[in-house]
Structure 1
């Protein structure tokens, strides 16, 4: 269960033992030891293999010469004491700045469309902007718990 920070603290409490936290981490890595996390993960994207993927207009080239040409989007989650909060962001590839975002306690369509609407309202791009997101859909929380 213990990771390098906790082992380092325990070793410091022993008289005569002087060791750095990074050395403890390096020795643990060399021995193949790692701390165990009790935190449950959350899957936010499940690809539907039966649906044809949209064409990749970006072709994995995440650079552009000017703003408002390519926007990328994604959803992540933030664990809180009350449960998960989901965050959708839209990022301008040129400046690497978040141009739109939305938070909610669900992963329904309006979470993503609210983030995109904020980006459009903030930046007012022309019709040539490419909005790129990962392939997949987000399952319900109930489906994740099974």
Structure 2
């Protein structure tokens, strides 16, 4: 099910409200991004991080790519992830914000199970859509 999908952790935000980099801020004794990486890896995905922060690859243990178009926010991160997936000959991307440490492998697997010919699969919760936790087909890259 997860074969051919890039797990991309978005870790490039400015963290203005948070006041510090969320990526390496600890939650439960681990860097926040580690929880997202674990959920995606446990779902069987090849995982990488989209970020312009220095030295993350050594700390997080996964490949890191900078935004192709810095300053474009999460949309720029998604475009970077889709380009990376295309380069690796994947069919799509499971995008997950680094500041979502409570997203489990169960959530990732459930969303992946909803994939069909859809261009995107994202959860909709009490506060609306969560576009930084979901699957995006490479067909989104064409739009």
TM-score after normalising by structure 1: 0.28
Larger radius of gyration: 1
For CA contacts below 8 A with separation 6 or more, give which structure has more relative contact order: 2
